[in-house]
Amino acid sequence: MNGVKTALLLGLMSGLLILGGRVVAGQRGMTIALFIAVGMNFFSYFFSEKIALTSSGAIRVSETENPQIFWRLSPIVKMLCDRMGLPMPRLWVIDQDEPNAFATGRNPSHASVAVTRGLLQSMNDAEIEGVLAHELGHVKNRDILTSSVAATIASAITWAAQMAFFFGGSRDDDDDRGNPIAAIAMMLLAPIAAGLIQMAISRTREFSADAASAQYTGDPGKLISALRKLEAGSRQIPMDVSPSMSHMYIIKPFSGASMSRLFSTHPSTEERIARLESLRRK
């Protein structure tokens, strides 16, 4: 099912890019955008993990790089991977005060899990286990590719929309001239459309990863406690994150106004906790 979602995501977002090419430069622009979309799909599949880690400012964690963090995280991750039947992912730390985390990669054999310094400082080992199990749930469910590709192409669509605004309608050839009104519409609507696609895909996968955390830690309370701290942190400590990457994190990494939460890529924390509470009662 996640393979179908990925294909649908690529198709819809590629269509937006091609439409942007048509707005900017007519038929020729559409043809060029088609080739760009094909190249971007290839690039997104193989390099979206690296783009996500670079964009977040993630720093590698290993026995030689940030060893103190490695020896705190690796035993927990190794235990969970053994339970889930997963290979050990690469570990990363993000120098941000807000507690948060995300997983990325194209499959379980090429996966990375990143946590913020704020998460390490504010949570005990049981809560960290709940968060890591959630992220490894994304890896096991094979939806990390979907989220990584979404982040890459959403950024490209935003860029294409800006190009449509600045260059739409500027060609001298009447047959290939873009429509300036359409260019303005492209600038306004394309990023919204990309965000809605991300939102539709992301909400259901968060519930699935939460359920995986409850199953493989054996205690939904670990993630429940972590989610409460994550929610409080997101409201109190702003996090510098590209909007195209916000759906990848375990919780929406913004402390902005309530209006932004209407278009959140995440279900409400209260609903997630309620579902976990129901699992604990079973």
User: Which residues are within 8 A (CB) of 58 and not within 5 positions of it... i.e. 6 or more apart?
Assistant: 92, 93, 94, 112, 114
Query: What does DSSP assign to residue 142?
Result: T
Three-state DSSP class for residue 148? helix
Q: Can you tell me which residue has the tokens 């924390």?
A: 269
Hey, is 94 helix, strand or coil? Answer: strand
Nearest alpha-carbon partner for 269 in 281, 253, 257: 253
What is the dihedral sign for C-alpha 41, 85, 201, 111? negative
From 49, 98, 127, 135, the catalytic residue:
135
Q: Is 63 noted as a catalytic residue in this protein?
A: no
Count of CB atoms within 10 A of residue 169's CB? Answer: 17
**Separation of alpha carbons 40 and 134, rounded Å:** 29
Quick check: 72 and 121 in contact, CB under 8 A?
no
Q: Which residues of 137-157 are buried (b: 16+ CB within 10 A; e: fewer)?
A: bbbbbbbbbbbbbbbbbbbbb
Nearest alpha carbon to residue 94 among 56, 130, 135: 56
Residue type, 258: S
Positions marked catalytic: 135
